[in-house]
Structures are given as C-alpha cells and as structure tokens.
Amino acid sequence: MTEHYQHRARKRFGQNFLHDAGVIHRILRAIHAKPGERLLEIGPGQGALTEGLLSSGGTLDVVELDLDLIPILKGKFDSNANFTLHQGDALKFDFTSLNPAPNSLRVVGNLPYNISTPLIFHLLENASLIRDMHFMLQKEVVERLAATPGGGDWGRLSIMVQYHCAVEHLFNVGSGAFNPAPKVDSAIVRLVPHATLPHPAKDHRLLERVVREAFNQRRKTLRNTLKALLSGEQIEAAGVDGSLRPEQLDLAAFVRLADKLHEQTTAAPAH
C-alpha cells in the first residue's frame, strides 16, 4: 500500500531522511521508550524512527509540516491506536494541547538545521511538561549545546539550554546515514530538563538579554559589550571581572549579572 508514495526530500524543509538501520537502532536504544510513555516526534519524515517508537508500546504524537508526507505516514501508521498525526509547524505547535502530565513528555526529532535552535527554545518554554528530549542535529550545533566555558563553542545557545537542561552529546552520525547525504555530520544529543534549576535567575528574560548583549560582540570585554545594561562597577559588584570576554564566564556568573540588572531595574525610581 505504501509503495505508491514516492517522496523526494525537499530542500525548502531542509529534509534529509535517515535510512541507516544501525543508526536508527542505536537512537531507539538511547531513547529506550517504554509502554505507556507519552512520546512526541517532531518531523517524522518517512517514519524511520516512528516505527520503533510505536513498537515500544508508548503513545506517540507526531508533528509533520510537509503535506506530501502525510499520506505516507497515515498509510504506514494510522491503523495503530497509539498513533496521532498533527499536520503543522512544530515552531507554532501548542505542546500543552497534548495534555501531558508534568515531566512526562519524551520528545524526539531529526531536526532540520534551519529550525533546530528556535524549536529548542520553543520547547524550553514548556520545559515543565518535558521529561527528556533526544535530537539528531548538525554536529556543530550539538557541540555548541554541550560546550563548556572558555572555548569558541560556548555561547548563547550553550548557556540558555544549560540553564534549563542537562546536556549529553551521545554519539555522532556520518552523512552516509541519510538520503540525500547532507554536507555535514550529525550527532545525537540528550537534553534533560533540570528538576531544580542549578542557577535560577530572578528573571530569566533578563538573563537572555544579558547573554545576547554579551555575545553580540564576543571578542570584546564584558565592560564594553554590557555597557548599555550595567556599569563597570555593577559588573564588579556582581562578582565578575569586567575585563573578561563573554566566553570566559560560566552560567552562574551570567545569572549573577542578570540578577544585578534585575536589582537595578526594580530599584530604579518610577517616572
């Protein structure tokens, strides 16, 4: 039945379909889904992972944007009572509509490069619903997610994701595992939202703002990049050396700067 549907990967959706059985098995083993779990797959493509996720006995919702893939996915999986297909854009999808219990949703996706960062941020807005996330991403994105302070990979993405989640770079996947083969290698990452934030900021939007400003000109010192937000004295008062460059600071230091900014904005007299 499904043989009638031939689908070619579409450049505009950044599609590269996973076909390597060994890699598929390794990803499924890393996820280790169990009966009764709430699973959400973003961008199932032609269903390479979908089949294995369903055979776990979990309840699977999938979100797929490409209308041409809908009949393929329906043809393969609609007969399974645990399968629900949502046609739409994962960046606009309301994850609360699935009514998952807190900390129950297990999210999986082979994410196209162009949406990976905004989609991860969209999911983090719903972090309280999510137990864990397993993503296939461009290898350099996973290296940024899992980075530590001091190196060139450490930046806004590392800090904001590590604020919410523990990050584990599981393994790399060569381009030959996909059709068509992308020009870059991929990697699998596991993100687990923290039960308790290790460094909670008084206002995480201010943390985002401080981090964004700091890394806008990552070669400059903090005193220069943050001057619109905090004076040199305020930076020092937060226990941070203003002559450092942003990539030299850890998450805790950025939270101290954001909390200092929060103190300034709440202490400022009303006009």
Mean pLDDT of 246-257: 98
Q: What is the pLDDT of residue 2?
A: 38
The partner residues of 187 in beta bridges, in order of sequence, read 137, 172
Mean pLDDT of all residues in the chain? Answer: 90
The domains found in the chain, sorted by start residue, are 2-193 (3.40.50.150), 204-267 (1.10.8.100)
pTM of the model: 0.90
Contacts of 58 (CB under 8 A, 6+ apart): 33, 34, 35, 36, 37, 38, 39, 82, 106
Q: Residue 231: phi, psi to the nearest 5?
A: -75, 165
Q: What is the pLDDT of residue 75?
A: 96
- Give 2-43 pLDDT, tens digit per residue: 334 445 555 444 556 777 888 889 999 999 999 999 999 999
Q: Which two tokens stand for residue 259?
A: 């909390």
In the predicted structure, residue 180 carries a pLDDT above the cut 90: no
Cis omega (within 30 of 0) on the bond before 180? yes
Region label for 57, one of left (φ > 0), alpha (ψ between -120 and 50) or beta (otherwise):
left
